[in-house]
Structure formats: structure tokens, C-alpha cells
Amino acid sequence: MYGKGLRPLSLATCLTLTAAFALVFFYAPLDADQGFIQKIFYVHVPMAIVALLGFVAGAVMAIGHLRTGDRRWDMRSYVAIHVSLILGVGVLVTGAIWAKASWGHWWVWDEPTLVSFLIVFLLYATYQPLRFSIEDPERQARYASVFAITAGAFVPLNFLAVRLAESLAHPRVLSATGGALPGDMRLTFLVSLAGMGLLFVTLWKYEMASKHASAQLRALRRKLGGEERAATGRSAAPQAPLPIRQAS
């Protein structure tokens, strides 16, 4: 089900990311101010944008769960947040590297963009412990959906607040007031963003296919009479109720 179309999607992701990296190192000009260091921008910023959009997507999927009661939406939301958290780690590490090279410090605490992203990341870092703390799967899914929606609504509000705040050191990109990219840099950035978006969708689909296969295996084991092994302990990951098709 979720494995459908994974091969062309994986290929498209590899091709787009390869093209993006080729553009970064062989096409995009050196930044007049920062020089070669600015190349980090093409991996750091798309990763941040896709991670934040992934959190918002997780919230939208959680709304789907609360509206329909279908636990598959909870699973989709869980996986979107899971993949976004992984990208979030990448954003923090690449950002720290860029900060060290540009500003001489690994982290700047009075910079709103950095601190706000860290707050969002730490907020979502509590998502899995929250799930793990609730044993009943139904309640776990419901509470996790409420959390995902609340935290997801916080992401654009946070983004807006940071935009309105006066930045001390972190540059603004793609804004109307400054930081506008020249054409060749913009093209490179957009290809990188597309690659990162495709990577997110690919990883999401891989994870969903894996979880779907595990659920099918559990259902098959139950059907074959291996109930004692089919029963799983407490888990942060949702247990999707996916019965195997009955032979007619």
C-alpha cells in the first residue's frame, strides 16, 4: 500500500539531491560577504523549512485522526513528526557549524531564530515520551493528536514572531525587505528545497511501509495462533489496527 511508487520516488529524490549538490558546488556563485561558508545555506535552510512544514503536516494529519477516529491518520502524523525530528537534528547541527564559521560561536542565545527553532525542536522532542507514558492505545492516539495539533499551530505563530522580531545576526532570506537572492542562487536554493521535500516524502513513505508491514505481520501471527508473540508491550509508536484480508 505505502510501498507503491517508492522506487520512482527514491530515484527522483536521489537525482534531485545530486543535481542540487552539483548546483551548489559548480553553479552557484560565492557569496560576496560570507564566501565559501555560505554553501551551508543550501542544506541548512531547506532542511529547516521542510522540518517545520513536516511538523505542520503532522498536525493536519492529527486533525484527520480526531475527525475520523481512523488510527491510520495517527500513524501518518506520528511518522511525519518522527521524520521532521530527524531533520531537526540536522538543522541544529548544520546551523551550529555555520554559526561557528560565521560568528565564531557554536550557539548564540540572544538570536531569536536559533532559540525559537530550538524551542520548537524541544517541544516536539517531548512527543514520543508523551506517547510512551500512555499505555492505552486509543487514549495514546487521541492525546498525541491533540499535542500534534497544538504544537503544529505553534510552528507558524513562532515563525511569524521571529519574522517580526529584530534579528541581531541571523540573516533573513526570501524576504521582501532584504536578503533577496540573485537568480542563480535562488535556482540552486529551490532545487535544494525540492530535493529536501522529496527526501521527506520518501522517508515518510519508507517508514509507513515498514509500519504497515509490521502491522500485517502481527495480524497474520494472531490469525495463525501465535497470540502470545503477537502481543506487544508498551510502545511510543502507534499500533495500527490493520487486519489481514480474510480468504473468501
Partner 1 sequence: MPALPLDEAGKYVAGAYVTFLALILVYVAIMASKLSRIERELEELNDLADQRGPVDGA
Binding site for partner 1 (CB under 8 A): 21, 31, 33-37, 39-40, 43-44, 47, 86-87, 89-90, 93-94, 97-98, 100-104, 199, 203, 206-207, 210, 213-214, 217, 220-221, 224-226, 229, 247
Q: Which is nearer to partner 1, 142 or 218 (CB)?
A: 218
Amino acid (1-letter code) at residue 3: G
Nearest distance, CB of residue 42 and partner 1, angstroms: 9
CA distance 222 to 71: 19
Dihedral pair phi/psi, residue 237, rounded to 5°: -80, 140
Nearest distance, CB of residue 99 and partner 1, angstroms: 10
- Cα dist from 60 to 13, 85, 122, 182, 218, whole Å: 24, 17, 20, 34, 28
CA distance 102 to 114: 14
Q: Which is nearer to partner 1, 10 or 116 (CB)?
A: 10
DSSP 61-130: HHHHHHHH--HHHHHHHHHHHHHHHHHHHHHHHHHHHHHHHHHS-S--TT-HHHHHHHHHHHHHHTHHHH
Q: Which is nearer to partner 1, 35 or 69 (CB)?
A: 35
Q: Which is nearer to partner 1, 39 or 72 (CB)?
A: 39
Cell numbers linked to 53:
512544514
Nearest distance, CB of residue 154 and partner 1, angstroms: 24
Is-contact 66 145, C-beta < 8 A? yes
Nearest distance, CB of residue 125 and partner 1, angstroms: 16
Q: Which is nearer to partner 1, 88 or 145 (CB)?
A: 88
Nearest distance, CB of residue 228 and partner 1, angstroms: 12
Return the SS3 of 195: helix
Q: Which is nearer to partner 1, 149 or 193 (CB)?
A: 193
Nearest distance, CB of residue 47 and partner 1, angstroms: 7
